[in-house]
Amino acid sequence: MAESGRRVILSVENVDKKFPRVHAVKNLSLKIYEGESVALLGPNGAGKTTLLEMIEGLQFPDSGEIFIDGLTYGKDEKKIRQLMGLAFQETRFPEKIRVFEALELFSAFYGGTRARIMEILELISLTEKKDAFVNNLSGGQRQRLALGIGIIQKPKIILLDEPSTGLDPHARREIWRIMADLKKQGSTLLLTTHYMEEAEELCERIVVLFKGKILADGPLEQLLDQHASHEIIEFKLKNKSAALIAKLEKLNKVSYFHFNKSTSAGVMHVDDAAVILPDFLKRVGRQNLESFAARPLTLDDLFIKMTGRHLDG
């Protein structure tokens, strides 16, 4: 299972999945190496959850194969459950159960120990809440508990579907802190997210999914480099004559230009805004310009360029 010195822990091979009206995942292949943290990014309906659930064994591909540390669901489901931890966007707990009891219940499936439960309580910062009823926890605390339950068996690979969706910024940071700790302990992380910030904070590799296919795959820096742009200039015009737009489109060293006539707003992806701006301002003319701003290019900008859609749309 080693490739170029790295061990492949998850291998998705030519996986295809169709629903009656949607071709959700299209002949997709993906390898994830031990210790990697990978974010699956994409807009609604891109196929992220379907792919993740096939990796989790909750759905089955129409064709293709999935290997988890060399194992397949058909033969080795029990072993896979031992080495794979799951945390869902929303976890329902039985009523009238306390935090410690919830962890104990799930720990029993894996022959876990009390020491492991205490370790998890520390990791998810719920030691002081161990006797509280789960129903009385805040959304963030409940999400941390779900994460703790998902990793009780010390899994090698942890899959998370939108781990911090719906949480306030503080609770989100807490989840990120836990995930960063797990990463430090050597776990492999695969998560789906709508939040670029989450991907940037936790993952060294980003896989962009769109309409069931991988559109881009690599470290964020590499993705930005491939598109030869590091900054974006956003502008709004008072005059949107075709002649003016054509003049702007011909600017040198612009890797992407888009102008929306109905909003009079435009964007340009450039390597260095300071180099482009003098020429841009000269061409546009002060009287034609309502506003402009330059800022670093983000993954969302890149995503709009590739797909015409926002990551969170």
Residue 45 or 94: the one with the smaller Cβ distance to ligand ATP is 45
Exactly one of 14, 29, 44, 138 binds ligand ATP (CB under 6 A); that residue is: 44
Is residue 24 near ligand ATP by the rule CB under 6 A?
A: yes
Q: Which residues contact 50 (CB under 8 A, 6 or more apart)?
A: 17, 24, 25, 59
Shortest CB 16 distance to ligand ATP, Å? 13
d(CA 209, CA 213): 6
Angstrom CA distances, 79 to 36, 105, 129, 308, stand at 21, 19, 32, 42
Is 49 one of the binding residues for ligand ATP (CB under 6 A)? yes
Q: Taking contact as CB under 6 A, which single stretch among the options 38-46, 137-145, 171-179, 238-246 is the one that binds ligand ATP?
A: 38-46
Stretch that binds ligand ATP, among 47-55, 129-137, 167-175, 248-256 (CB under 6 A): 47-55
As measured in angstroms, the least distance from the Cβ of 308 to ligand ATP is 16
Amino acid at position 15, single letter = V
Site for ligand ATP in 275-304 (CB under 6 A): none
3-state helix, strand, coil in the chain (%, to 5): 40, 30, 30
- Check binding of 87 to ligand ATP (CB under 6 A): no
Taking the C-alpha atoms of residue 86 and residue 190, their distance in angstroms, rounded to an integer, is 10
Burial class (CB in 10 A: 0-12, 13-18, 19+), 197: middle
In this chain, which of 46, 123, 147, 206 binds ligand ATP, going by CB under 6 A?
46
CA distance 47 to 42: 8
**DSSP structure class, residue 267:** E
By the rule CB under 6 A, 107 interacts with ligand ATP: no
For residue 163, state whether it binds ligand ATP (rule: CB under 6 A).
Answer: no
> In the stretch 167-206, what mask flags binding to ligand ATP with x, by CB under 6 A?
----------------------------------------
In this complex, which beta carbon is closest to ligand ATP, that of residue 37 or of residue 49? 49
Torsions phi, psi for 252 (to 5 deg): -75, 155
Q: Does 50 bind ligand ATP (CB under 6 A)?
A: yes
How far is residue 107's CA from residue 113's CA, in Å, rounded to a whole number? Answer: 7
Q: Which is nearer to ligand ATP, 46 or 159 (CB)?
A: 46
Task: Give whole-number Cα distances, 233 to 74, 101, 276, 277, in Å.
Answer: 52, 54, 9, 8
Residue 60 found at the interface with ligand ATP (CB under 6 A): no
Binding residues (CB under 6 A) for ligand ATP: these are: 19, 22, 24, 42, 44-50
